Amino acid sequence: MTKLETSERLVHVPLGERSYDILIGPGLMARAGGEISTRIKGRRAAIVTDENVGSRYLDGLMDSLQTDGIEAVSVTLPAGEKTKSFDHLTTVCDVLLEARIERNDTVIALGGGVIGDLTGFAAGIVRRGVRFVQIPTSLLSQVDSSVGGKTGINARQGKNLIGIFNQPDLVLADTDVLDTLSEREFRAGYAEVAKYGLIDKPDFFDWLETNWREVFAGGSARIEAIAVSCQAKADVVAADERENGRRALLNLGHTFGHALEAATQYDSSRLVHGEGVSIGMVLAHRFSARMNLVSPDLADRVEAHLKAVGLPTRMDQIPGELPPTDVLMDAIAQDKKVKSGKLTFILTRGLGQSFVADDVPTSEVQRFIEEMRPS
């Protein structure tokens, strides 16, 4: 097992032959070559990154790999959600094949959730699967998208509709890189941190209400929040790897959020994923109150906390005009959690008491969205 520095945390994802470690702490980027070389036999690697992340970290990662005897090539893609497309997937696959990356070699995702999702998909389909390492560089990707093996790209019909489950071999969550994020990016990632408390960890949500400023400031509170989030996701993934049941809870707020992202055509100047999740979680709690599952006071409490950290909580905070309700409903109907044409939402019966609600009446959802829309 890896020898940890005193400031580091390790979370293990127990999935039999597909088990892997998540290392969390400062300085991990510089040690990437050593951590990878102790786990993976191949001596070649391909790094996939985007223009923003690559300009900061690609050279240092290449040096770390070379120091530990790993020969690497790289491909740099445009930044942004629109990169999760067939065209860019083809580009990455071409690079991997031209570099003769073999099954025991490593494909490294260096970036946020977009790069992680796209790279993991490519790694899973090239030669029917090569080794795969996540080096997430945003808070959102460190606590959510880099863990659990969901990979894929977007389709015209909606987000993440084309992809595979492909577990990484290692996740290196270097907390130092979070210091370079904009306030908006960090807040967007924090929405996913808060989500774990709202799913089934009410004590964690209580802790976040008290300590969120320290999480934003960095240091031990930030590492603790990331570690708790990763452990929460690891526990769920270990129990339900392919989202046949409990794992669906991780989508709290996402059904509404994904629809809002689609409604903005994935324009990050208007809405980024974590902001959509923030609004979506408030909507999920308000819809739960509408269905008489929980007191409206809880929805107020959730909104107050997300608002306090600077996240949007209402649809009228999204810049620009939203499409008609029927267009939003079409996006919801394309959600991956829809079964046999019936809507599935993650709702709640109390703080940290989320559950999967099957066969939610479409008419109720439509009326609710109409009420929540900007007037």
Tens of each residue's pLDDT in the chain, 375 residues: 355 655 899 999 999 999 999 999 999 999 999 999 999 988 999 999 999 999 999 999 999 999 999 999 999 999 998 999 999 999 999 999 999 999 999 999 999 999 999 999 999 999 999 999 999 999 999 999 999 999 999 998 888 899 999 999 999 999 999 999 999 999 999 999 999 999 999 999 999 999 999 999 998 999 999 999 999 999 999 999 988 888 899 999 999 999 999 999 889 999 999 999 999 999 999 999 999 999 999 999 999 999 999 999 999 999 999 999 999 998 888 765 556 657 889 999 999 999 999 888 888 999 999 999 887
Q: Within 13 A of 362's CA, how many CA atoms are on the CB side?
A: 12
Of 144, 201, 187, give the one whose Cα is nearest residue 278: 187
Residue 301 among the catalytic residues:
no
Residues 143, 192 contacting (CB under 8 angstroms) = yes
Q: Does 137 count as an annotated binding residue?
A: yes
Phi and psi (nearest 5°) for 47?
-105, 130
Model confidence, pTM: 0.92
For 335, the token pair is 């959600």
| 273 annotated active-site | yes
* Annotation marks residue 56 as catalytic: no
Active site residue 251: yes
Q: Which of 84, 131, 247, 305 is labelled catalytic?
A: 247
Has 375 been labeled as part of a binding site? no
Clarify whether 292 is annotated catalytic.
Answer: no
Report yes or no: 106 and 130 within 8 Å, Cβ to Cβ. Answer: yes
Active site (annotated) includes residue 337: no
Dihedral-angle region of residue 266 (phi above 0 means left; psi in -120 to 50 means alpha; beta otherwise): left
Question: Is 150 a known ligand-binding residue?
Answer: yes
124 known ligand binder = no
